[in-house]
Structure 1
Amino acid sequence: MNFGEILVWELLGTAALILLGAGVVANVVLKKSLGNNGGWLMITIAWGFAVFAGASIANPSGAHLNPAVTLGLIATGNSNFGWAEVPAYLIGQMLGAMIGATLAWLTYKLQFDTHDDPAGTRGIFCTGPTVPNYGWNLVTEIIGTFVLVFWILLSPAAAPGDGGVPTFGNSALGYAAVAFVVIGIGASLGGPTGYAINPARDLGPRIVYALLPIKGKGSPEWNYSWVPVVGPIIGGVLAGLLFQILPVG
């Protein structure tokens, strides 16, 4: 697959991921919405299936949707793509995240216009800590992303087994399995920081939030923005490095 094809499929898949992910947060947060006060579980379940939808769309490119996944795969030293393709993945993911966030805003434009707390809408687009401490917030993002990427690395495609019976392993449910992992991470590890576990998922919508004409909106909180970028990258690379030295595969 060439540079342009990778970029397009990653863009489409990530746009779907963020449209549905930011969309459910908007549905829960915005007052004049049918999902208002739907709660954390509604958000985590919908984010999981947003990953399922986005990954299914981006299947031709390998469905990374996440710079931490791309860099984690490269860190294994045994990926089916090289450094020359990495920029295509990263650019596609960032552009897709920005497009998806914009589409979510357009979907809920009237609810944004009538929301009684416009300064509190940043969380619809990007994450933030419940207890600000950048060092510990970084640790949270590293751990959550490590779980995601390491699971992906341990989930090879189905292969022929004894007697012609396929061996599926962790990948038995395909992209639906990834959705369940993301739901589990959100429900278990997402409380402290909102579980970005994806630099593009956080930074792209944060940039869009800063640019959108949302009357009375709050700060994009650029001082925190590096945490959900650096933490997931570290977590993803650590997963790739550990996978490289373990007797797996």
Structure 2
Amino acid sequence: MDYSLVTRLFAEVIATALLIIIGNGAVANVELDGTKAGKGNWNLIAMGYGFAVMMPAMIFGGISGNHINPAFTIGLAASGMFPWGEVIPYILAQFTGAILGQLVVYITHKPYYEKTANAGNIFGTFSTTNAANSVQNGFINEFFGSFVLFFGALGITQSPLFTSNPGAAHLALGLLVMALVASLGGPTGPGLNPARDLGPRLLYTVLPIKNKVDPNWKYGFVAAGLAPIIAGIMAVGAYSNLFM
């Protein structure tokens, strides 16, 4: 079935919002004081983000392609697999969804934001940062994590193993994200997605949150924004030239 651009854009908004609600919701449950998941750990966050990608993919993969990531959209367009004329509308939809999803996380966890004194934990429920306070190290980690994500996502969705069962491909995609968060996620968060990081970072900047830290837009633009975009172009280009 062919869906109109408007329908696909609504799907991208909702899908990206679900990504943030489930993914950053898991982070908020672990990092904020007073929640019943406060004794959780990185495994819970990894599982949360795996499901955060898998569930929208299963719901919207057949409608919008479930890009939910500007870097993936740009990478597909650069390789001729997505029309350039739809790139900006898709990206705007993804940023809108990310902001709306983060607003839901903030509203549902507001009492626990007010209880939490650790400013770094609060910021971590919105956006990413580098554990070594290094933009360079953040860029390196976000680039390689994003490359594996996009190369793997294209490989899974285009694999002959899944041609007759796209639902299984979307399940595998969630497991890929879970593995990436568990393996390469420690240094940065990770983001792997400009909308997932920069949309909530914008919301963090304007919300009246106690115990704020500098939102560090330099890090956001370079490591969380630029690195995934470069990785997306290279990863999609590499896979499409090698295997398609």
Query: Which of 75, 80, 83 is matched with 2:78 structurally?
Result: 75
Secondary structure class of the residue paired with 1:37: coil
1:41 shift after superposition:
1.0
What residue in structure 1 maps to residue 16 of structure 2?
14
Contact 1:19 1:104 in 2 (8 A): yes
Q: CA RMSD in A?
A: 1.9
Structure (1 or 2) with the greater helix fraction: 2
Larger radius of gyration: 1
Alpha-carbon distance in structure 1 between the residues aligned to 2:210 and 2:74: 37
Give the Å deviation of 1:58.
2.6
Alignment of 1:1-249 (within 5 A): 1-59=3-61, 60-77=63-80, 79=81, 81-118=82-119, 120-156=121-157, 167-168=161-162, 173-226=168-221, 227-246=223-242, 248-249=243-244
Distance 1:158 1:239, change over 3 A: closer
Alignment-mate amino acid for residue 182 of structure 2: A
Contact 1:118–1:214, Cα closer than 8 Å, also in 2: no
Counterpart residue type for residue 17 of structure 2: A
Matched residue SS, 1:173: helix
Deviates more, 1:113-122 or 1:94-103: 113-122
Counterpart Cα distance in 2 of 1:25 and 1:113: 16
Q: Distance in 2 between matches of 1:92 and 1:244?
A: 26
Amino acid at match of 1:55: A
Q: 1:89-122 deviations in whole A, cap 9, x for unaligned? A: 1011100000000000001111112223346411
CA distance in 2, matches of 1:228, 1:158: 28
- Give unpaired runs (5+ residues) of structure 1: 160-166
- Contact 1:10 / 1:89 at 8 angstroms: preserved in 2? yes
Give 1:35 shift.
0.6
Q: Is the 8 A contact 1:122 1:219 kept in 2?
A: no
Size of the aligned set, in residue pairs, is 239
Whether the aligned pair in 2 keeps the contact of 1:125 and 1:202 (CA below 8 Å) is: yes
Cα deviations by residue, 1:166-185 (Å, 9 ceiling, x for unpaired): x4279572311111000111
Whole-angstrom CA distance in 1 between matches of 2:121 and 2:105: 16
Q: TM-score, normalised by structure 1?
A: 0.89
**Matched-pair contact (CA < 8 Å) for 1:27–1:36:** yes
Note closer, same or farther for the CA distance 1:158–1:238 as it changes in structure 2 (3 Å cut): closer
Contact 2:31 2:121 in 1 (8 A): no
Q: More displaced, 176-185 or 150-159?
A: 150-159
- Matched to 1:174, the amino acid is A
Runs of 4+ in 1 over 3 A off after TM superposition: 156-159, 169-172
Amino acid at match of 1:14: T
Residues 38 and 74 of structure 1: CA distance in aligned 2, closer, same or farther (over 3 Å): same
Contact 1:9 1:61 in 2 (8 A): yes
**Does structure 1 retain, via aligned residues, the 8 Å contact 2:192–2:224?**
yes
Instruction: Provide the rounded CA distance (Å) in 2 between the counterparts of 1:33 and 1:216.
Output: 18
Q: Aligned-pair distance for 1:68? A: 1.5
| Aligned-partner residue type, residue 91 of structure 2 | L
Report the alpha carbon displacement of residue 136 of structure 1 after superposing the two structures with TM: 2.6
Match of 1:163 in 2: none
Q: 2:209 & 2:138 partners in 1: Cα distance?
A: 28
